[in-house]
Amino acid sequence: MSATTPIDGHLRLLIIAGDPLARAGLFALLSQQSDFIIVGQVDTASDLWSQFDIYAPDVVLYDLGWDPAPALERLRDVQENELPLVLLLPNEAIVADAWATGARGLLPRDADLGKLQAALLAAAQGLVTIDSEFTSSLLPTPTPLSQMAEALTPRELEVLQHLAQGLPNKAIARRLDISEHTIKFHVNAIMSKLGAQSRTEAVVRATQLGLILL
């Protein structure tokens, strides 16, 4: 997905939902909010990459519907790209699968306007929002520091703190005055040591371990 510039300070929001009533409801709920401009509403059957190229959103709200399996399968194809994605889930049973997509937000389908706004704004800034009813399903028992594969080095802790701010590798490299290749090496090491499958999950696990504060 190409980088974009918010329109007059508003974030470009793309709404994806298989149910046309759900799309209409989300549009009605968010269209009057000053933080966003809704650039598109699309069906879940659409090709995700083409929709991202067409609408160039700053953040994506994706309603998984009552049968989330097909949507989750599509999202697995793009998970490595760290999309600014907030997912609406029908129940707790799919929390782990939804988290594995690399989404930055997990909310119930009936989330109110305040939660939607907060999650979308956080996702656009590279931060993570998980509804309280989902956290126990996602990481029921925080891993003690003593059970980490290996302690993080001081440099890895520095990189981790920048990851928590949502910065890409290039920006972290500039701040720490080291190469982007070295940053990539550190990120991979951090994810391995924390047992994380994505940068986002690494930040969440590190927060639970008390390694960083958000």
Provide the pLDDT confidence category of residue 37 given band limits of 50, 70 and 90: very high
Residues 6+ apart with CB under 8 A from 8: none
184 dihedral zone (left: phi>0; alpha: psi -120 to 50; beta): alpha
| End-of-domain residue from the set 118, 138, 158 | 138
Same structural domain, 48 and 70: yes
More confident position, 106 or 150: 106
End-to-end distance of the chain based on CA atoms, in angstroms?
Answer: 26
Let me know if 179 is exposed, middle or buried by CB neighbors in 10 A (0-12, 13-18, 19+): exposed
Same structural domain, 60 and 104: yes
Same structural domain, 28 and 134: yes
Residue 3 predicted with pLDDT over 50: no
Domain total in the chain: 2
Chain centre distance of CA 158: 21
The string of pLDDT tens digits covering residues 112-154 is 999 999 999 988 888 888 887 887 666 545 555 545 657 888 8
Which residue range is the domain that position 18 belongs to? 11-138
Taking each helix axis as running N to C, give the angle between helix 180-194 and helix 199-208, from 0 to 180 degrees, rounded to the nearest 10: 50
As a dihedral over the C-alpha atoms of residue 156, residue 199, residue 188, residue 167, rounded to 10 degrees, the angle is -60
Same structural domain, 28 and 129: yes
Provide the pLDDT confidence category of residue 1 given band limits of 50, 70 and 90: very low
| End-of-domain residue from the set 120, 138, 156 | 138
Same structural domain, 81 and 156: no
SS3 content of the chain, % helix, strand, coil (to 5): 50, 15, 35
Q: Residue 25: what pLDDT? A: 93
| End-of-domain residue from the set 138, 153, 186 | 138
Q: Residue 7: what pLDDT? A: 53
Task: Answer for the pair 130, 184: CB distance below 8 angstroms, yes or no.
Answer: no
Q: Residue 68: what pLDDT? A: 85
What integer is the mean pLDDT of 38-67? Answer: 86
Same structural domain, 37 and 114: yes
Residue 8 predicted with pLDDT over 50: yes
Same structural domain, 119 and 29: yes
